Structure 1
Amino acid sequence: MAGDRLAGLDGRGTAVDREEYARLLAEVTAWVEGPGEKWAGVIESTGTVPQTLRTELRERGFLGLAAPRALGGAGLSFTQWMGLMEVFSRSHASIRMIVHVVNGTWRSMNPHATEDQRRRFVVPSVAGDITVAFTLTEPDNGTGADITSTVRRDGDRYLLNGTKHLITFGVDCDYWLLFARLEGSRGKDGTVGLLVARDSPGATVEDTSNTMGVRGTDHARLTFRDTPVPVANRLGQEGDGLAIALGGFLTPSRISVGMSCVGLAERAQELAVAYARRRVTFGKPIAARQAIAFMLAENAADIQAARALVMHAAAQWEAGAGDAAALSSMAKLTAVDMLTRVTDKALQVHGGLGYWKSEPIERVYRDARAQRFEEGTNEIQKAVIAKDLLDRAAAREEADA
């Protein structure tokens, strides 16, 4: 039945025991610090993520860690998954992006999927057998009810028209999880969520992957001209599009991006501390200079504060708290600003040498900038937080009246 929620299938109701979690944490940490670092060099030198890396991630089970066992995943709770996301984020940004997206898109699909759609799309996505690209953003609109890509019903199919851009994995995927609106409709009530096959006729794919950082992750601009999509590929009902796009996906995804900022900041700090200890001036390591030591101390405090807020937001979402959406925006906003400060100071500790590609901090610094717009800019997060704040104040005033 569409919308059927078996126990734990929304990602909130399952967890593994401490021993299993400790084993997974050790396995992920060892991989990130070993093979992951080698893969980072390959990605940077080639500008692509090799298929053999995706295969390795799939075979190790890293693409299904956050999903419940009923879908073929490892059954981690969301807070447990955040602990592993923190470690993955110390690796190359494209590796982090793969595990973040694949471990999250099932949340958007599953609550609205039929049993047949779970079998065809959700379970294979969790297993890493297919790649589903989240496809919402448009070049001339925001990422909400103002989307203008349209569909019109034609028998047992829809005909899709419109343009999408900044679509992660939009080039190298099997399906686009795409959001459009019924032709002639307005607002959220006319929106639909569709799984569109990558090889659909009338679909044009432009590779726009030449980015400042996060090298290796493909991005696409997509154009659709009367592209046929089976009605059987629609998730939920007509009018459910925005609920599918935002309801079960955006809040936990923003928290996950917040944690990815924490993990990347920890990597920047690790590099800064190591460099400060080995770099010698006037007979002393620069770590002995108060100016350097204070930057490292500020970074340490900054990272811990952001991590605490991210984990609080994760626990609140896991518990189904009403303030989880606002907290997710607070966590993402705070963590992004923290990452900006930490990577800037980490680069400063390296001096001029940090600007060269021979130093790993150069890549970390570039990759950090992408987090500022992933899952919404800081300005969007502030708008979400302010609305929640003012709505709650109005509700209290009404209750007291």
Structure 2
Amino acid sequence: MSVTEIAPRSRAALDPAAFDRLRAEVARYVSGPAEEWADRIESSGSVPDELWTELRERGYLSLAAPREYGGRGLSFPQWMELVELFSRSHGSLRMIVHVVNGTWRAMDAFADPEQRERFVLPSIAGRIKVAFTLTEPHAGSGADIRSSVVREGDTYYLTGAKHLITFGVRCDYWLLAARVAGSTGHEGTVALMVPRDAAGVTVEDTSQTMGVVGTDHARLTFDRTPVPVANRLGAEGDGLAVALGGFLTPSRISVAMSCVGLASRAQELALEYARRRVTFGKPLTSRQSVQFMLAENEADIEASRRLTLHAARRWEAGDRDAAKLSSMAKLTAVDMLGRVTDKSLQVHGGSGFWKSSPIERVYRDARAQRFEEGTNEIQKTVVFRELLSRPEDVR
């Protein structure tokens, strides 16, 4: 089978024994080398290029892609199990692995053979970096986008602004959603591969964040930036399909699982601290209030894990309720993460407030999930929209 014939939701999976070995390898990496990278990132405030190189050489940037594309051929639920592990590490490391293993999918579903060779396969191989570029400073993240293009011959001229763009500074291409000037709603939206060095672009580094330190974010301004029509993925009108169905739906499931992974790390740190911390001659684990907090955490984490894996299976199967389940998983997991990290920090008492405590970084990083791939308010809107569109006879 040629690479042009691969379905965007291949159901192939790594055989169980091989997957168990891969999962164990990733677990060792996360608890060992990744922690060293975390210390380096936190102290410097940036992600070294060497980390990108290491992740590429280990094959961690192509885990979710089909074997025919140079990937490992994981099923989507298998990929989610690895996302959970990576998410126990530093937020920026998780972000790299998560985004690179997701943007190829959005491109591939709409790419023609020439575009697959130019964009998809090099992204999977780690030869180019692609930044997903949807959010705007003066609009939401959907059909109300304002960035627009005017076509003149074989060139689009792009005008508008984007912000909160992950890897927007150091990327090679922006995978950008805009609309044909004068169009409204979903109709007329386009998805473009905009070169990082295109004319008429102003890039502002906005990387000073509360958590997920080191992941570069950008605010972008386009002033009649020329983009070849050959860089358009799909047809005019497909822009939001590329952005929402191709990237955001599976990515929201990934973010939900990243919440599960980070919450598991917080729970682990809280349990370790409670076991060794002694007050009035007894460890904290003997205090019923602490026992209850940790028990509630455990139930919360497992419930989110199961819902997220269910959403992953339904998305891979192409079920019509995948978008709803994706948003349900994300909003549930985000709320869970907030509760778990808050209780885990509380178990640490005052000592958890200092940067010398690992729980401090986890607590800061957790806040980013609340808006990554859309706030909970957006997720609730998606869920209700899908609920309302369901035929009455199946309600």
Provide TM-score, normalisation by structure 1: 0.96
Provide the C-alpha distance between the structure 1 equivalents of 2:20 and 2:324, rounded to a whole number of angstroms. 31
The residue that corresponds to 2:315 in the other structure is: 317
Provide the C-alpha distance between the structure 2 equivalents of 1:100 and 1:255, rounded to a whole number of angstroms. 11
352, 371, 374: which is aligned to 1:373?
A: 371
Q: Indicate the SS of the match to 2:390.
A: helix
Q: What is the identity, as a one-letter code, of the residue corresponding to 1:306?
A: S
**In the comparison of the two structures, how many residue pairs are matched?**
394
The residue that corresponds to 2:341 in the other structure is: 343
130, 135, 138: which is aligned to 2:136?
A: 138
Contact 2:259 2:366 in 1 (8 A): yes
How far apart are 1:5 and its partner, in Å?
A: 8.3
Please identify, of 382-391 and 7-16, the stretch whose mean Cα deviation from structure 2 is larger.
7-16
How far apart are 1:231 and its partner, in Å?
A: 1.2
The residue that corresponds to 1:163 in the other structure is: 161
Q: What is the identity, as a one-letter code, of the residue corresponding to 1:204?
A: T
Mapping for residues 103-142 of structure 1, pairs under 5 Å = 103-142=101-140
Provide the C-alpha distance between the structure 1 equivalents of 2:245 and 2:165, rounded to a whole number of angstroms. 19
The residue that corresponds to 2:24 in the other structure is: 26
Contact 1:176 1:195 in 2 (8 A): yes
Provide the C-alpha distance between the structure 2 equivalents of 1:190 and 1:230, rounded to a whole number of angstroms. 17
Provide the C-alpha distance between the structure 2 equivalents of 1:393 and 1:75, rounded to a whole number of angstroms. 36
Q: Indicate the SS of the match to 2:109.
A: helix
Mapping for residues 39-58 of structure 1, pairs under 5 Å = 39-58=37-56
How far apart are 1:215 and its partner, in Å?
A: 0.3
Provide the C-alpha distance between the structure 1 equivalents of 2:222 and 2:245, rounded to a whole number of angstroms. 25
Q: Work out whether 1:148 is the aligned partner of 2:146.
A: yes
Provide the C-alpha distance between the structure 1 equivalents of 2:3 and 2:391, rounded to a whole number of angstroms. 33
The residue that corresponds to 1:263 in the other structure is: 261
How far apart are 1:319 and its partner, in Å?
A: 1.4
CA 1:390–1:266: 2 relative to 1, 3 Å? same
Provide the C-alpha distance between the structure 1 equivalents of 2:156 and 2:306, rounded to a whole number of angstroms. 46
Please identify, of 48-57 and 20-29, the stretch whose mean Cα deviation from structure 2 is larger.
20-29
Q: Indicate the SS of the match to 2:141.
A: coil
How far apart are 1:393 and its partner, in Å?
A: 5.2
Q: Indicate the SS of the match to 1:371.
A: helix
Provide the C-alpha distance between the structure 2 equivalents of 1:13 and 1:304, rounded to a whole number of angstroms. 25
Contact 2:324 2:383 in 1 (8 A): yes
Q: Indicate the SS of the match to 1:221.
A: strand
The residue that corresponds to 2:209 in the other structure is: 211
351, 354, 361: which is aligned to 1:353?
A: 351
Contact 2:84 2:261 in 1 (8 A): yes
Q: Work out whether 1:102 is the aligned partner of 2:109.
A: no
Q: Is there any run of 5+ residues in structure 1 with no aligned partner, and where?
A: none
Contact 2:3 2:69 in 1 (8 A): no
How far apart are 1:322 and its partner, in Å?
A: 1.6
How far apart are 1:44 and its partner, in Å?
A: 0.4
Provide the C-alpha distance between the structure 1 equivalents of 2:286 and 2:4, rounded to a whole number of angstroms. 57
Provide the C-alpha distance between the structure 2 equivalents of 1:5 and 1:309, rounded to a whole number of angstroms. 32
Q: What is the identity, as a one-letter code, of the residue corresponding to 1:57?
A: L
Provide the C-alpha distance between the structure 1 equivalents of 2:388 and 2:199, rounded to a whole number of angstroms. 47
Q: Indicate the SS of the match to 1:244.
A: helix
Aligned-residue CA RMSD in angstroms? 1.3
Provide the C-alpha distance between the structure 1 equivalents of 2:223 and 2:325, rounded to a whole number of angstroms. 39
Provide the C-alpha distance between the structure 2 equivalents of 1:137 and 1:395, rounded to a whole number of angstroms. 37
CA 1:87–1:139: 2 relative to 1, 3 Å? same
How far apart are 1:343 and its partner, in Å?
A: 0.1
Contact 2:4 2:113 in 1 (8 A): no
CA 1:270–1:194: 2 relative to 1, 3 Å? same
How far apart are 1:188 and its partner, in Å?
A: 1.3
The residue that corresponds to 1:391 in the other structure is: 389
How far apart are 1:43 and its partner, in Å?
A: 0.5
Provide the C-alpha distance between the structure 1 equivalents of 2:364 and 2:79, rounded to a whole number of angstroms. 25
Provide the C-alpha distance between the structure 2 equivalents of 1:390 and 1:99, rounded to a whole number of angstroms. 35
The residue that corresponds to 1:179 in the other structure is: 177
Report % sequence identity. 69
Provide the C-alpha distance between the structure 2 equivalents of 1:8 and 1:313, rounded to a whole number of angstroms. 22
Provide TM-score, normalisation by structure 2: 0.97
Contact 1:11 1:67 in 2 (8 A): no
Contact 1:9 1:70 in 2 (8 A): no
175, 188, 191: which is aligned to 2:189?
A: 191
How far apart are 1:7 and its partner, in Å?
A: 5.4
Contact 2:149 2:180 in 1 (8 A): yes
